[in-house]
């Protein structure tokens, strides 16, 4: 199949999580993470930063969904990108007062990140990017590592006195999604060769990072706890789907054709979207 390159403005627009405890997760994302509910239905909650449209996160109740096996393919974490280091400091100051457990910190040379999990065990990253001009590039690949975050330096970003915490900054969006997969070569075929993301980093042990437009990564893929595992049940709890937003309708048309030619079966959803499952049973939506 001929190579294809996604438009530079492609991004991850939305994530849907399936749960047995919708009220618990909704409260968590409001009170602990700082998102706002913008629409509430009997079995769904739509949340965004500062009430912005559209929703970044959709939570859906499904009492009959089988529980996701954490060693099978699925979600590793959803990464919420705050607009700057000051907003990361504001978020950390709020979060550190909630007594919710933190799982780790990472200065990745391209970003500073804080890691935790929601009540269902879905991974979350809250992060701020370093200036793009400072990202280390070697042989065309972004160099990323994991060093401690300088929390003292981060907190010095805060003005005194600072404004009261009212939630995540309005400019917050999903910077990337990190998936756990059964096989990196198989994932590379789907996300890089078929969908057209560029490989940005492939020397990190057990992981692959791909992106559009030269970003450090829009999708992370790893086999750290899911290597050679069977495909996930697409109806299980956890990651129900995620949306790749395309800036041009022509890109959606091309990708639909490419998926069909590769023997995938994309389904039309809405007026400007398709849905497909990768080889690991992860549901991907493509929307123009």
Residue-wise pLDDT tens for the chain (288 aa)?
889 999 999 999 999 999 999 999 999 999 999 999 999 999 999 999 999 999 999 999 999 999 999 999 999 999 999 999 999 999 999 999 999 999 999 999 999 999 999 999 999 999 999 999 999 999 889 999 999 999 999 999 999 999 999 999 999 999 999 999 999 999 999 999 999 999 999 998 999 999 999 999 999 999 999 999 999 999 999 999 999 999 999 999 999 999 999 999 999 998 889 999 999 999 999 999
Return the SS3 of 162: coil
Query: Residue 161: CB partners within 8 Å, gap ≥ 6?
Result: none
- Nearest by Cα to 124 from 197, 15, 44: 15
Cβ atoms within 10 Å, residue 224? 10
b/e map 98-129, b = 16+ CB within 10 Å: eeeeeeebbbbbbbbbbbbebebebbbbbbbb
What is the model's pLDDT at position 139?
87
Please tell me the distance from the alpha carbon of residue 53 to that of residue 44, in angstroms, as a whole number: 16
Please return the burial class of 163, using the count of CB atoms within 10 Å of its CB with bins 0-12, 13-18 and 19+. Answer: exposed
Query: Residue 70: CB partners within 8 Å, gap ≥ 6?
Result: 121, 225
Please tell me the distance from the alpha carbon of residue 114 to that of residue 70, in angstroms, as a whole number: 21
């Amino acid at each position: 199949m001929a190579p294809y390159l996604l438009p530079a403005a492609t991004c991850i627009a939305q994530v849907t999580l399936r749960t047995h405890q919708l009220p618990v997760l909704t409260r968590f994302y409001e009170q602990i993470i700082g998102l706002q509910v913008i629409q509430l239905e009997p079995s769904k909650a739509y949340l965004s930063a500062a009430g912005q449209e559209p929703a970044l996160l959709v939570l859906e109740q499904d009492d009959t969904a089988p529980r996701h096996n954490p060693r099978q393919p699925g979600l590793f974490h959803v990464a919420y990108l705050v607009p700057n280091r000051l907003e990361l400091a504001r978020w950390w100051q709020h979060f550190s007062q909630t007594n919710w457990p933190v799982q780790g910190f990472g200065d990745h040379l391209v970003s500073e990140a804080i890691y935790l999990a929601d009540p269902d065990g879905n991974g979350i990253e809250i992060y701020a990017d370093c200036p793009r001009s400072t990202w280390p590039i070697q042989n065309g690949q972004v160099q990323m590592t994991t060093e401690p975050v300088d929390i003292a330096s981060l907190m010095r970003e805060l003005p005194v006195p600072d404004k009261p915490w009212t939630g995540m900054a309005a400019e917050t969006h999903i910077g990337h999604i990190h998936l756990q997969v059964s096989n990196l070569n198989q994932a590379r075929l789907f996300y890089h060769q078929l969908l057209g993301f560029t490989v940005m980093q492939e020397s990190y042990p057990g992981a692959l990072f791909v992106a559009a437009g030269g970003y450090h990564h829009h999708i992370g893929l790893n086999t750290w706890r899911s290597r050679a595992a069977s495909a996930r049940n697409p109806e299980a709890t956890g990651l129900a789907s995620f949306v790749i937003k395309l800036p041009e309708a022509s890109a959606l048309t091309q990708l639909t054709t490419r998926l069909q030619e590769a023997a995938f079966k994309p389904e039309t959803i809405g007026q400007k979207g398709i849905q497909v499952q990768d080889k690991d049973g992860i549901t991907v939506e493509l929307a123009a």
